[in-house]
Amino acid sequence: MKSKAARDVISVFGAVILFFTWIFQSTSVARMDRALARLDEAERTYRTYQSNNAIFNAIIATVKEDSSAYEQIRRLQTYNYALGLEPLAEVTGMAAVKGYDISLEQLQKNLEEIQSKEATSRAKIVSQKAFDDTVALVFYSIGSLLTLLASASKVFLPD
């Protein structure tokens, strides 16, 4: 009778491990996917604004003779670029430099800092996801093994 009870306890324990592994994996994967999706969306927004630079550069090429028009277009181009950088800055927890009177050097420095933080954040999320997946796999294996062993022992071992 004791061995039957022990097998039942082992089987239930294995099922509990499987259940909590499923909860852990589901919440972990969902959290990591949301974080990566936010980074991806901010990156896409930035790339859209970045692609607008080609239009600004084409307009600037047509007005090189008029220095006041050139300066005004360059000013708007810089402001537009900073707007595109803002979502990426928000996702990484940094402040984007914005305004009409920021220099290209300031904007470039801010861009490099934000992109560095974004790359670090992305790498951290991917690494954490891989770790969580490994933990889930180990516990899933343990839970499955316990459940299978308890079930097999019911078939192959006498009570």
What are the boundaries of each domain within the chain? 2-156
Q: Give every CB contact of residue 128 below 8 A, 6+ residues apart in sequence.
A: 32
Section 67-86 average pLDDT: 86
Pair 137, 11: CB distance under 8 Å: no
Which residue intervals of the chain are DSSP H helices?
A: 2-62, 67-92, 104-156
The average confidence (pLDDT) of the chain is 89
Q: How far is CA 114 from CA 38, 43, 77, 105, in A?
A: 14, 11, 19, 14
User: What percentage of the chain exceeds 70 in pLDDT?
Assistant: 99
CA-nearest of 156, 109, 141, 135 to 32 is: 135
Q: Is the pLDDT of residue 157 over 80?
A: no
Pair 87, 42: CB distance under 8 Å: yes
pLDDT tens profile 23-47: 999 999 889 999 999 999 999 999 9
